[in-house]
Amino acid sequence: MYFIAHIGNIPVEEWLPFVVPVLALYLYGRHKNRRRRDAIQRLPDASKPLEEGTVELVLARWAKAKHKDLSPAYLPLLYPPGPDGMNAGELAERIHVDPATVERLLEELEDLGYLDLDERDERDGPRVSLTFEGYDLLYETEAALLAQAAGASS
């Protein structure tokens, strides 16, 4: 006797060949993302000033990724793990800069389309939400810093 299992109205024989590659890609992506997060956690603290060569490398990476309108002043804000979900006071404390300066830089980044400032809670000030362009910028920043760290450790 021959039974065919079904998931929904689709026989398993037709469904299974599509699930295995999708599951494999998911597991690979998760593993790669976990390794990247571990490497990012090993970077120096955001409060320490970066070497001039590192700043130039990040700016070159930004320019290559078509983020030419940014100055080095934004780099401390975008240092991993990035500003997503934080407010100006928390960022200022993390990078040891005046909160008013951080607010001005965040507003400039918002005007450039890299983030949105959400006014959910008036007590703490607006929270940062990165846009798609902002996540791309953060990814490029992380990639440059990881490349610099890998070159320094070799």
Return the domain boundaries, the chain: 6-41, 52-153
Q: Which residue, among 78, 75, 98, has the nearest Cα to 138 in the 3D structure? A: 78
- How many Å separate Cα 6 from the centre of its chain? 41
End-to-end CA distance of the chain: 63
The C-alpha atoms of residue 117 and residue 128 are separated, in whole angstroms, by: 5
pLDDT tens by residue, the chain, 154 residues: 445 666 666 666 666 677 788 888 988 888 888 888 888 888 877 777 788 888 899 999 999 999 888 999 999 999 888 899 898 899 999 888 899 999 999 999 999 999 999 876 666 778 899 999 999 999 999 999 988 888 765 4
Whether the CB-CB separation of 76 and 48 falls below 8 Å is answered with: no
Question: Domain 52-153 maps to which CATH number in 1.20.120.80, 1.10.10.10, 2.170.150.20, 1.10.3720.10?
Answer: 1.10.10.10
| C-alpha dihedral (16, 18, 23, 24), degrees to nearest 10 | 110
